[in-house]
Each structure stands twice: as C-alpha cells, then as structure tokens.
Amino acid sequence: MVQASTDAIVQEVEYPHPIDLVWEALTDRDAIAEWAFVEGAVVEGFRPEVGARYSFVDPDPEGWSGRVEGEILAVEPPHRLSYTWVGDGGSTVVTFILASTAHGTRLRLEQTGFDRYGEKGQRARESMDEGWGRHILRGSFQRVLDKLALKDQPRT
C-alpha cells in the first residue's frame, strides 16, 4: 500500500517470513549492505542501539553523493526501528514497524520530513518512494529475506 503525501513515504508489504527474520534483515549490518544499496556498498557503525551513528556508502553512485548518515532513534525488537537519514535530499526520519500476521510479517515503512526541503525535498521523496517500493521492499529486501530463510533451514 502506498499513500501519497508531500511530507512522507509510506509503504506496506507483507512477507511470508517470521517477524524475527524480518527484524534480522533490518538490523544486521551485512544484510543491510545487501538490500539497501548496490553490491559493494559499505555499512559503517550500524548497531540497533539508540544513539548509534552510522553511514551507508554506495561505491558507484549515479546522480547522487552516494552517502547517507544518521543516528538510531528508537529500537523496540522485533517491532520498531527508527533512525535519521541524512543524504542529498536533506534530513528525514525512517521508521520500520513490524507486525506478525497469519501469513508472516507485515512491514510498514514511513520516511518523513521531506516538506521542509521544498522542491529538492519533493524530488528526493519521489525518487526514494519508488526506490523503497519497487527496488528495495519488493526487490532486494525480499531476496535477502529469502536468503536468510534458506540459511536458517535445517539440512536433511
């Protein structure tokens, strides 16, 4: 589900995986490097602890600086993770809210704060909305979840 807004991105996706696995994909540094950017991305300092500072570096950016920095604002395992996201579009807040469902886990992504950056912020919001929706949450994040699930299966 995508809700239109000038201030926020809101995306919801349901995955056929348990909440603990989805939480792992959101908070594990190696998993983040795999789903958040492109191959070879570097995740520095990311720890699911309030106050931890991090940076994401895309080694081959196209049309942007390739660097995002921020600070962890909230950690409520396995239900809520929130952090600042400081990049080319200004400073926003990304929040993931997880809920168990009958078929797996519902992930709700909210990224807020775009309005205060005017036209530049709106261009960033539009680009990131498509990136989160099409490329990450329904693409690379799903692939990372499937890979983690296979790793956790007992061998027969």
Average predicted confidence (pLDDT) for the chain:
88
Distance CA 70, CA 118 (A): 21
Domains annotated on the chain, with CATH: 8-150 (3.30.530.20)
The arrangement of strands across the sheet holding 90-101 comes to 8-15, 104-112, 90-101, 80-87, 67-76, 53-57, 42-44
Which two tokens mark 93?
């807040």
pLDDT given at position 1: 43
Question: For the whole model, what pTM was predicted?
Answer: 0.89
Give pLDDT tens digits for 30-64: 999 889 876 677 899 999 999 999 998 888 777 77
pLDDT given at position 25: 97
pLDDT given at position 5: 59
The helix (H) or strand (E) run that includes residue 142 is helix 141-152
Extract the residue ranges of the chain whose pLDDT is less than 50.
1-3
